[in-house]
Amino acid sequence: MKTQTRAVVIGGGIAGCSTLYHLTQEGWTDVVLVERDELTSGTTWHSAAQVTNFGMNQTMVGLKTHSINLYQELRDDPDYPVQYNHGDGGIRLANTEAQMDGYRHFASMARGMGVEFEVIDAEECARRHPLISTDNLLGGLWDGNDGDIDPASLCQALARRARKAGAEVYRQTNVIGLTQLKDDSWIVHTDKGDISCEVLVNACGYRVNEVGAMMGVHHPVASMEHQYFVTDEIPGIVAADHRMPLLRCPISDYYCRQEKNGLLLGFYEQDCKTWGMDGISPDFSNDLCPDDLDRITDVLEGAFARMPALTEVGIKNVVNGPITYTIDGAPLVGPIPGKRNAFCIIGLRAGLGEGGGHGWLLAQQIVHGEACYDTWCLDPRRFTGHGNVELTALKAIEDYQNEFRFHFPNEHRPAGRPMKTTPLTPVLAAAGAEFTVVNGWERAEYFKPAPDFEVTHGFQFDEAFDVVAEEVKAVQAGVGLAEVNGFNRIEITGPDAHDFLDHVICGRVTRKAGKVGLGYLLNEHGCVKGEATIANIPEGPVWYGSAAAAEWHDMDWLRAHADGFDVSFQSLTNEWTILVLGGPKARDVLSAASRGDWSAAVFPWLSVRRAFVGTAPAVVMSVSFSGELAYEIHVPNNQLYAAYLALRAAGEAHGLRLFGARAVESMRMEKGYLHWKADLITEFDPFETGLDRFVKMDKDFLGKAALEVRQAKGPVAKLVSLQIDSTTSHAQPGASVMQDNSVVGTVTSGDWGHRVGMNLAYAFVRPDLAAQGTEITVDMLGETVRCRVIAPGPYDPETTRPRA
């Protein structure tokens, strides 16, 4: 066994084997996989092994397409062919128009990745799958690339190719400890000796937290028992002249695929069960949980109603084994938070179907620092300190119970809530707040006009449309107050604070005390990594502020690039909260609640100072995400309620009204402001993203050399603002922008602009179509909708209102 290697992958299932193989494909051949038992002895061996192209976003579609292409190549390898039934086709059923709208959106989104789905009616579903009934069925989504694969031969084939490239695989080798050295390299202690390596990968399936504990981290991954059975031969399958398509049914919570001349049926019952919460026996390997068919009786009845042929056949065998889930159901693939040179590829509940793509994206991150797609939807840092065992288990149960029911826009499911709150959460709830969730925080989305007010979740404008319009109107005409909790806030101290920021930010960094600036961070490839507000607090530290979701992401990035600078970082994210006071009367309210001169002459736009709001100490910034005169009032959480009461009292004379996140979203679209990980992604550089004014090529900064190369080649795409000719729905992220039936771009954000009366969207489009006035279309819910490129920020384009 080697004692020194470049990377050690721990775990021999699909996650580990795919990562090992793809590392060799990216040029790292001195790599090792360590497995405590035999390859595929965990969840992989009992997987139902479905391989679909369906994904909830373009990154997921792209990685699944890679899996399918790779598996086809392995199937056709004459030296070691893998058993892969590709192209059987698959149908996702629906019995509501909202579900059908969702499928229409997913088809539009996938088209941008070169994948064609087909939305079909109930009769066509039955024609393609003659075993199903059309009762209570509207239609479905057809995936022509759907199929299934043999788990064992797939993993062996990947390991075989990795070995041929120079990698080594050590089976029956148990990891018993991990040590990180001062140079951030690792020692992997095994029962057969130690291996030193530069990079460590946790690919341990349901044992992920056994290995996580060895490095002092907990991963938000929980296991669920999952049952399927295989039927005896079904005459309808024998008589058919083709293999039966796969079926996924959100109506009755089951799936099925052909297995020889019978069916394999899997169930997502409501009476589901977590597994391994109190530890896992070291002897549990190539093993299963006891059968419990009573638990799936209700789901089975639905399957019988949909497929009457099931009532006439017997059951050959039953499988009940653990599968892993995360808080949102998507895997964790990428850097381990707070650890250098440590990565994970875990929580792969559909591991066999998409594992080829996950390993591909992870290998790119390890070798090149970034993948070809923005991988935030998979990033382990998207969950922060709230991702404990209890929350993970509750969300895993909820996701399991809704396996085939996707989230609708603005749908926020209840399990594990509330998780993160402030002293204002119950106060705002009493005022009628409907809450959304941002990095675990309960944030007011809008304020209900009546206690029994409810919205219908779907892709069309919902009942809250007019409510949000009224909140926007209140901010535009008078004054509004909103809580923005969870905002990422890092205090930077040390003599090199500004020099460090000048290194990581591609534009000018304001050094003047009492001033605020906006800056962008690039990665080593010259593409957009982050956005930050830099505030120089008078006689105090520098505050770095960014999106709430960026809490762990940005801290890791700053620390990783601080070598050679005398700086220190302290997170204040969970100790402070922002109260946003916005509107033309905002100055009047603030002046009534806080001593001092708040006039535009003394405290102009982009200023910051310490103050008291009522009796509460605060840091006040004159900045605006709404496009109105506005103040961000940062208050310690233990005095937040006092500041809130002071502002409410001062606002009574001016008709102050509460507003929520949906109003903010509408207003930021009207101003041309961008969201991190919606419009600001690692696939594009700042020039492509329209951030030219924030880039200063006459200074040195991280990513400059790569940006110069990209600039010389010219843009791949350009971010534009669109006005869409629709009054019934806005464009959803991922929707395809079209011209002459060809995809020419992808929507990143969309919303109705209530102040300008426009249906607005941002999209990355082909550079030759980025000129203002260009007429194109958007594929919205199956309809071709006209739109045109407009100047960004149609509301107050000269930005006079925040300066008033």
Instruction: Give per-residue pLDDT as tens, 254-301.
Output: 999 999 999 999 999 999 999 999 999 999 999 999 999 999 999 999
Q: Is residue 609's pLDDT more than 90?
A: yes
Q: Is residue 524's pLDDT more than 90?
A: yes
**This model's pTM is above 0.75:** yes
Note whether 304 and 298 are within 8 A (CB).
Answer: no
Instruction: Give per-residue pLDDT as tens, 385-395.
Output: 999 999 999 99
In 232-312, DSSP assigns E strands to: 246-249, 254-259, 262-267, 274-275
Q: How far apart are CA 253 and CA 271, in angstroms?
A: 12
pLDDT the model gives residue 295: 94
Instruction: Give per-residue pLDDT as tens, 581-607.
Output: 999 999 999 999 999 999 999 999 999
Q: Is residue 540's pLDDT more than 90?
A: no
User: Among residues of the chain, what percentage have pLDDT more than 70?
Assistant: 100
Question: CA quadruple 741, 746, 751, 757: dihedral positive or negative?
Answer: negative
Structure tokens at 740: 């002459």
pLDDT the model gives residue 19: 98
Instruction: Give per-residue pLDDT as tens, 8-44.
Output: 999 999 999 999 999 999 999 999 999 999 999 999 9
Q: Is residue 509's pLDDT more than 90?
A: yes
State the DSSP H helix or E strand holding residue 782, giving kind and residue range, or none if neither: none
Burial of 195 (0-12, 13-18, 19+ CB in 10 A): buried
Question: CA quadruple 557, 560, 566, 568: dihedral positive or negative?
Answer: positive
pLDDT the model gives residue 620: 98
CB atoms within 10 A of CB 242: 11
What pLDDT band is residue 685 in, cutting at 50, 70 and 90? very high
User: Among residues of the chain, what percentage have pLDDT more than 90?
Assistant: 99
> Which residues touch 698 (CB under 8 Å, ≥6 apart)?
none
- Say if strands 84-86 and 31-34 run parallel, antiparallel, or are unpaired: unpaired
What pLDDT band is residue 351 in, cutting at 50, 70 and 90? confident
Task: Tell me the pLDDT of the chain averaged across its residues.
Answer: 97
pLDDT the model gives residue 536: 98
Note whether 111 and 743 are within 8 A (CB).
Answer: yes
Instruction: Give per-residue pLDDT as tens, 404-456.
Output: 999 999 999 999 999 999 999 999 999 999 999 999 999 999 999 999 999 99
DSSP annotation of 751: E
Q: Is residue 303's pLDDT more than 90?
A: yes
What mean pLDDT is predicted for residues 78-95?
Answer: 97
Q: Where are the alpha helices (DSSP H) in 410-535?
A: 425-430, 465-477, 497-504
Q: Is residue 653's pLDDT more than 90?
A: yes
State the DSSP H helix or E strand holding residue 658, giving kind and residue range, or none if neither: strand 657-658
pLDDT the model gives residue 728: 97
Q: Which of 569, 553, 542, 563 is nearest to 682 (CA)?
A: 553
| CA separation, residue 91 to residues 88, 231, 647 (Å) | 10, 20, 54
pLDDT the model gives residue 350: 87
What mean pLDDT is predicted for residues 302-329?
Answer: 96
State the DSSP H helix or E strand holding residue 634, giving kind and residue range, or none if neither: strand 630-636
CB atoms within 10 A of CB 417: 16
What pLDDT band is residue 110 in, cutting at 50, 70 and 90? very high
